[in-house]
Amino acid sequence: MIRLARKVRVFRRAAQTCPGACVIGLLILAASVTPVKALRQTIRQAGSAQASDASSLSPTAKASLDAALVALQSNALAEAERQARAAVNASPRSAITHNVLGVVLDRSGRSEQAFGEFSTAIKLDPNFVSARNNLGRMFAEHGKTAEAIAEFERVLKSDPTHVQAHYNLGALYSDAGDFARAAEHFARAREADPNDPQLALAFLTVAYRANRTQQADAAADLVERASGTDEKSLFTLARALAESKQYERAARLFAHVNELMPHNYEVLYDLGIALYNLDRNAEAARFLSEAADLNPGPPETHFRLALIASALNDHANSVLEFKHAIERDPKSANSHFLLAREYSRIGYWDGAIQENTKAIEINPKEAAYVYARANADYRKGEWTAAAADFDRAAELDPKIENIEYLRGYAHRAAGDFEKAREILEKFVATHPDHVDALSSLGYVAIEQGRLDEAEAPLKHALQLSPDEVPVLYDYARLALKRREYPEAVARLEKVISKLPTLTQAHYQLFLAYSRLKQADKAQLELAEFKRLEALEKQVEKERIIDEKLRTQQLMGQNP
């Protein structure tokens, strides 16, 4: 059986309101985002590591370097470059001057030249950790993760307590999904300043995933305390918690942010999603519906509302919201597929077939869509279409549970008995105790007039499940076809004792009694057959009216 994952986490990354959503990226860029402070620190670190290098700077180089840093602080990048180049010219063998020039070039967006300057700095002083750190950061930014990791590891060889290297390694390992290592590096980074909320935030995002829950909780406490009533910080923390599946706490924080900053789409959306993940659907709907009213654009809000409505058995709203999601993102096969599922839930098979068809058009290779359409075809009574779809679903994913049986059954229903026989025989060879398949095999044999061959599968099915009415019924029909009327009567009486409302069994019993010349009993069965048949016709009539009304409601009315 194909099942949809119940929860599909859809967390929108919205940089404009979420400085924390890109925690990793931001921290990798830390050196260039806060250049002056960082560079002063870098220089200080470098100075302390290579005192001779710092002291070897000429007075001209020192003056230019200071001027470059001041210019960089005020974002006067051209001036900063001029001064940094002057410093390099004055002290061309100084790693520090090349490093500073590299930072200026990097800030100016000239990555390749920056690479060159950092590399030169490292050649001049292989133990210059700040240059290595900057080089590693640039590798990371250019997607060269292995090279970046190697650089940061080299930094740590020279300075095992280097905060930024630990930090950056934590970020890179986190990106690679190695949360245990990431947590270890972030933890080492935090040793320098255990009360730094930014470091704590980075740590907790990976620590939860590395099952260091207690430490992660402590870090979250710290960040929450440090955030006070700053809604952006709280929001960032809440998002980090939600991404770490700490929905309870995330929901509480999102709710707090919502009080501080009401009617904000992002906050409402994330609060709704956190509540949804906590199975608090009614509350989730409250916030998501406000989000959707505030900003009807994003399809995922409607998609999520549709899922919630579906979970609450609110079919009308579910259908409407899936439609809204599709209007905004018509290429979402999943939305079509789930709308089809919703139609199936309310027995609107035409709609289900139509939407599954759209999903298949978008993604023809997805077995789940084809399988779902096959089911809808089947329920609609479109046997041939169902058989074709089950065949296709089996091609796409042969591991769908019992798919071969379903194929066989659909071909049986479509009247293609030879194909059904071929499929079912193969299936039974590997599933010798599958009652339904045995039953179908017996049925097909009866329909093909292979009466002797029908006996064995039906008998075996009855040994496995003696009370299975469809099997008992076919077993009775077999006796009737073989003109074994007393046996047929006995078997049919048994069927009727188990399911007195099985209309066709009364008809078969009428036939059997007639053959046995038991007119009174035959007439009684015929009367019962007619009574039940009339009832069935009435039900059929009501079913048609009902389907018509349902279709009208779905096509023409809003809930």
Partner 1 sequence: MSIRPVAGFLFALACFQVAAGQSSAPQSKERSHVERFSTPEVRAEKAEAEANAQLAANSNDDAALNRRALARLRLGRNAEAFEDLRRAVLLKPWNSDYQANLGYVLWKLGKPQEAVSAERAAVKLDEKNTAAHYQLGRFLVRLGDGKDLSEAIAQLRRSLELDPRQYDVRFELVAAYRELGNLAEAAAQVDVLQDARPTDARVFYVTGLLDADRHDLNSALKNFNEAITRDPSLYGAWQDLGLAYGKANRWEDAARTFAELAQRQPNSIEATYFHALALYNSGKPAEAEAEVRRALRLDAGAVEAHTLLGIILASRGNANSEAADALSQAIALSPNSVDAQFYLGRVQYAMKDYAGSVKSLRAAVKLNPGHSEARFFLGTVLELTGDSDAAMTEYQELLKRDPDSLMGQLGLGALLVKQGKIDEALVALNRAVTLDQKEFEAHWALGRALALKERYAEAVDSFQKAVALAPTRAEAHYQLGLALKRLGRTQEANREFATVEKLNTEFRTNNSPK
Binding residues for partner 1, per CB under 8 A?
282, 285-286, 288-290, 292-293, 305, 308-309, 313, 317, 320, 344-347, 379, 467, 498-501, 531-532, 535-536, 538-539, 542-543, 545-547, 549-550, 553, 557-559
Distance CA 547, CA 543 (A): 6
C-alpha radius of gyration, the chain, whole number: 36
Residue linked to tokens 């910080």: 233
Contact 529, 503 (CB under 8 A): yes
For the bound state, the minimum distance from the C-beta of residue 492 to partner 1, rounded and expressed in Å, comes to: 16
Distance CA 414, CA 409 (A): 9
Q: Between residues 251 and 292, which has the closer beta carbon with respect to partner 1?
A: 292
Q: Between residues 126 and 559, which has the closer beta carbon with respect to partner 1?
A: 559
Burial of 267 (0-12, 13-18, 19+ CB in 10 A): buried
Q: Between residues 82 and 280, which has the closer beta carbon with respect to partner 1?
A: 280
For the bound state, the minimum distance from the C-beta of residue 553 to partner 1, rounded and expressed in Å, comes to: 7
Q: Between residues 84 and 374, which has the closer beta carbon with respect to partner 1?
A: 374
The region that residue 211 occupies, defined by phi over 0 for left and psi between -120 and 50 for alpha, beta otherwise, is: left
Length of the chain: 559
Q: Between residues 47 and 347, which has the closer beta carbon with respect to partner 1?
A: 347
Q: Between residues 12 and 110, which has the closer beta carbon with respect to partner 1?
A: 12
SS3 content of the chain, % helix, strand, coil (to 5): 80, 0, 20
Q: Between residues 191 and 293, which has the closer beta carbon with respect to partner 1?
A: 293
Q: Between residues 214 and 313, which has the closer beta carbon with respect to partner 1?
A: 313
For the bound state, the minimum distance from the C-beta of residue 308 to partner 1, rounded and expressed in Å, comes to: 8
For the bound state, the minimum distance from the C-beta of residue 161 to partner 1, rounded and expressed in Å, comes to: 52
Contact 107, 35 (CB under 8 A): yes
For the bound state, the minimum distance from the C-beta of residue 13 to partner 1, rounded and expressed in Å, comes to: 23
Q: Between residues 74 and 501, which has the closer beta carbon with respect to partner 1?
A: 501
Q: Between residues 95 and 319, which has the closer beta carbon with respect to partner 1?
A: 319
Residue linked to tokens 């002063």: 40
**Tokens standing for residue 44:** 């200080």
Q: Between residues 80 and 285, which has the closer beta carbon with respect to partner 1?
A: 285
Distance CA 500, CA 277 (A): 46
The region that residue 9 occupies, defined by phi over 0 for left and psi between -120 and 50 for alpha, beta otherwise, is: beta
For the bound state, the minimum distance from the C-beta of residue 439 to partner 1, rounded and expressed in Å, comes to: 15
CA 481 from chain centre, in angstroms, equals 54
CA distances from 48 to 35, 70, 102, 164, 320 (A): 19, 21, 20, 16, 66
Contact 84, 100 (CB under 8 A): yes
For the bound state, the minimum distance from the C-beta of residue 357 to partner 1, rounded and expressed in Å, comes to: 20
CA 121 from chain centre, in angstroms, equals 46
For the bound state, the minimum distance from the C-beta of residue 336 to partner 1, rounded and expressed in Å, comes to: 18
Distance CA 417, CA 412 (A): 5
Distance CA 513, CA 530 (A): 16
Angle between helices 231-243 and 247-260 (to 10 degrees): 160
- Alpha helices by DSSP H, listed for 228-366, are 231-243, 247-260, 265-277, 281-294, 299-311, 315-328, 333-345, 349-362
